[in-house]
Amino acid sequence: MKLNIAVLPGDGVGPEVIAEAEKVLNSVVDRFGHKLDASIGLIGGSAIDETGTALPENTLSMCRSSDAVLFGAVGGPKWDSLSSDIRPEDGILTIRKELGLFANIRPVKAYNSLIHSSPLKEDRLLGVDMVIVRELTGGLYFAEPKKRWTDGAERQAVDTLLYSEKEIARILKVAFELASSRKLKVTSVDKFNVLETGRLWREIANEVGANYPDIELEHMLVDNAAMQLVRAPANFDVIVSENTFGDILSDEASVLTGSMGMLPSASLSGAISESATSSKASLYEPIHGSAPDIQGKGIANPIAAILSVAMMLRYSFDLKEEAEAIEMSVQEVLNSEYRTPDLATDKSLVVSTSEMGDKITDRINRPS
Ligand code: NAD
Ligand code: IPM
Ligand code: MN
């Protein structure tokens, strides 16, 4: 098969982890006899530096004409001037909106070998295997009005939390479809007790849920959900939530796996089952950011980016065996105690970003 992908490394540790993800992708492509056509595009702060915009037109057109997009991260202190209205983050936000990528799938799996890398107690982590389904193109991130003004001498600002029935229903449907191939439970997270959008969300969750009688639908307020995620995380199967809540809960959930550097994601424009046949590109990215505090040190964990490649192979190309080859290699390398510093414990064999990429690639080239 020919894989036609756009690669957008971005800023900070983005290029560092994407280099390892590409290494792994190349080894899978070789082992299984596929062909790769990868175009590299500018995005984020590095694109601002070179072109004055966070998403140059040719990057967006490259994404549109690809089968899938592999993205690193954007942003960093260099571009964080509060007065600037050009922001690196707009690059990824515009791609999500323009490609209609409303469904962000963020699996959270606690590997047994990493249980001691998490600050949480072992008994809480056993059996943790959930997916956060985050709405990605609506809510506070995009709705208007979104602006700042001065009223007399006082500065004011507004963001708008707006959701339509259609936007809520389609993300709920993705969550139910996913739960039907998993543990048959959906936890819909909202702020129903305070927000009007929360009440609409809950109403529509019930309506969509009625079409899936075999799936248990649980509603949970977001503040309680944040607490339950660390108190009893193994109780969750599929969590579905609006854009901002999903963003926050997924960073929190990454702690269950030991590190922010472990969580991959897929951003899709429809149900998972439709991705491989869709004419539209999906996007794959680690959930973490550009990690400026560790940039350039060669210590970023590339596993989230590498597992994002596995999600890409499975969802965009229907290459299950290839995806499993990556996931198994990651697991074996972790079982052999190799760790980047974010995951390291006393027993670990500490490796750099590129050494971790090499270890995983070696296992793909020489499966046991
Ligand atoms: P961050 O995710 O970049 O980092 C949070 C913490 O996690 C840091 O201590 C960092 O060192 C650590 N971390 C993150 N990824 C890691 C990895 N792969 N290996 C080891 N440790 C890792 O979040 P932040 O510091 O709040 O944001 C930094 C910049 O990244 C900001 O400009 C923000 O806007 C941007 N950001 C971008 C994305 C994206 O492009 N998708 C996502 C989140 C944040
Ligand atoms: C993420 C990031 C982005 C978001 C930022 C960089 C716009 O935090 O992908 O989780 O908030 O969606
Ligand atoms: Mn985030």
Residues 55, 143 share a domain: no
Annotation says 223 is catalytic: yes
347 noted as active-site residue: no
CA of 169 to the centre of ligand 1 (A): 31
- Both 221 and 334 in one domain: the answer is no
Q: What is the pLDDT of residue 367?
A: 80
- CB 291 less than 6 A from any atom of ligand 1: yes
Question: Which pair of structure tokens corresponds to residue 296?
Answer: 């350039």
Which are the contacts of 55, defined by CB distance < 8 A and separation ≥ 6? 43, 47, 90, 91, 94, 95
On whether both 72 and 133 belong to a single domain, the answer is no
Helix 320-335 / helix 303-315 crossing angle, nearest 10 deg: 160
Q: What is the CATH number of the domain that holds 346?
A: 3.40.718.10
Residue nearest to atom 9 of ligand 2 (CA): 287
Pocket test for ligand 2, best of 69, 79, 92 (most atoms within 8 A of CB): 92
- Look at residues 209, 232, 257 and tell me which one is the last residue of a structural domain: 257
Does the structure show a pLDDT above 90 at 84?
A: no
Distance from Cα 247 to the centre of ligand 2, integer Å: 7
How distant, in Å, are the alpha carbons of 97, 134, 175, 237, 318 from that of 273?
21, 17, 12, 18, 9
- Arithmetic mean of pLDDT, 49-72: 98
Three-class SS state of 334? helix
* 264 part of a folded domain: no
Query: In the predicted model, what is the mean pLDDT of the chain?
Result: 97
Identify residue 23 by its one-letter amino acid code: K
Residues 305 and 193 in one domain: no
The last residue of a domain, from among 206, 224, 257: 257
Among the options 23, 67, 141, 284, which is catalytic? 141
Domains identified in the chain, total number = 2
Q: In the annotation, is 251 catalytic?
A: yes
Residue carrying structure tokens 């709405």? 135
247 has catalytic annotation: yes
Give CA–CA dist 4/227, Å, rounded. 42
SS3 284: strand
Regarding whether 100 and 4 lie in a shared domain, the answer is yes
Question: Which pTM does this prediction carry?
Answer: 0.98
- One-character DSSP codes across 219-268: EEEHHHHHHHHHHSGGG-SEEEE-HHHHHHHHHHHHHHHT-GGG-EEEEE
Query: Looking at the CA of 260, which ligand is closest?
Result: 1
> Domain check: are 242 and 298 in the same one?
no
The answer as to whether 266 is a domain residue is: no
Whose atoms come closest to the Cα of 305: which ligand? 1
Verify that 243 and 134 share a domain, yes or no.
yes
Domain that holds residue 150: 119-257
pLDDT digits (tens, 9 = 90+) for 7-19: 999 999 999 999 9
Of 3, 56, 60, 64, nearest to 34 by C-alpha is 3
Say if residue 298 is in the same domain as residue 207. no
Domain boundary among 198, 230, 257: 257
Q: Which of 247, 284, 338, 342 is catalytic?
A: 247
CB 289 near ligand 1, within 6 Å = yes
pLDDT band at 85 (very low <50, low <70, confident <90, very high): confident
What is the per-residue DSSP string for 29-40? HHHHT-EEEEEE
